[in-house]
A and B are shown apart, each in its own frame.
Chain A
Amino acid sequence: QVQLQESGPGLVKPSDTLSLTCAVSGASINSHYYNWIRQPPGKGLEWIGHIFYTGSTNYNPSLKSRVRMSVGDRSKNQISLKLNSVTAADTAVYFCARGTSWAAAHWGQGILVTVSS
């Protein structure tokens, strides 16, 4: 059974860098897309971008200048997200989700990241 688990700091200071890791179990990361999606409190879903298992990336233009995704330690089956120069508007639940070009069938439980001093 494929499972994803996000981890990282739950509190980030304004102008700092948000760094999250998604650990994948039950499947190798050497296939599929890995998406990062976020949801501000009480609001809808926003696609941040995805990384293909080859390492190629595609980012939402609204965040492109601040975001970087990478394949982490392949032996640990990890994907990482970095978002720099954060503001309060970046406060959200961040999800990683594994899928194909059709849809994301497997999601992590999400992690709330609050941007505050």
Chain B
Amino acid sequence: DIQLTQSPSSLSASIGDRVTITCRASQSLTNYLSWYQQKPGKAPILLIYAASTLQSGVPSRFSGSGSGTDFSLTITSLQPEDFASYYCHQTYNTPWTFGQGTKVEFK
């Protein structure tokens, strides 16, 4: 199975901060990597697919980059509604897998 390791596992940030979350894969994914946001008690929401393509309707302050084994999700100016957990997800090989998640908390 492909392992996805996210870092950090949690972070504290303030409104307006630039936040970057990284996701490292145990083997190359080319660009079959997506990012999701999840708030407590809710289903995940797709933010980014194909490593860097912004899903329709997602604010442009979210961006993704990377290829191969190293990827990142950046929020350029953190907004109150962005405090949530974020997961990376690979669909390059089955079984599809998720990172362990990164919780973004208010500082």
Residues of chain A at the chain B interface (Cβ within 8 Å): 35, 44-47, 49-50, 58-62, 95, 97, 99, 101-105, 107-110
With A101-B91, A102-B32, A103-B34 as given contacts, are A47 and B43 in contact (CB-CB < 8 Å)? no
Which residue in chain A gives the minimum CB-CB distance to B92? Answer: A101
Interface of B: prevailing SS:
loop
Is B98 touching A44 in the complex (CB atoms < 8 A)?
A: yes
Is A103 touching B49 in the complex (CB atoms < 8 A)?
A: yes
Q: Produce 1/0 per residue, B95-106, CB < 8 A to A.
A: 111111100000
Most B CB atoms within 10 A — which of A50, A58, A105? Answer: A105
Cβ of B12 < 8 Å from any Cβ of A?
no
Is A44 touching B100 in the complex (CB atoms < 8 A)?
A: yes
Cβ of B87 < 8 Å from any Cβ of A?
yes
Residues of chain B at the chain A interface (Cβ within 8 Å): 1, 32, 34, 36, 38, 42-46, 49-50, 55, 87, 89, 91, 94-101
Is B44 touching A102 in the complex (CB atoms < 8 A)?
A: no
Q: Which of A44, A49, A95, A102 contacts B43 (CB 8 A)?
A: A95
Nearest chain B CB to A84 CB, angstrom units = 19
Is A60 touching B101 in the complex (CB atoms < 8 A)?
A: no
With A46-B98, A102-B49 as given contacts, are A110 and B43 in contact (CB-CB < 8 Å)? yes
Q: Which of B34, B36, B46, B97 contacts A47 (CB 8 A)?
A: B97
User: Which A residues touch B87, using CB under 8 A?
Assistant: 44-45
Q: Which of B38, B95, B100 contacts A62 (CB 8 A)?
A: B95
User: Which A residues touch B94, using CB under 8 A?
Assistant: 58, 60
Is B49 touching A44 in the complex (CB atoms < 8 A)?
A: no
Most A CB atoms within 10 A — which of B38, B45, B95? Answer: B95
List 18 other contacts, CB 8 Å, given A45-B87, A61-B95, A105-B49. A35-B96, A44-B87, A44-B101, A46-B98, A47-B97, A47-B98, A49-B95, A58-B95, A59-B95, A62-B95, A95-B43, A95-B44, A97-B43, A101-B32, A102-B49, A103-B89, A105-B55, A109-B42
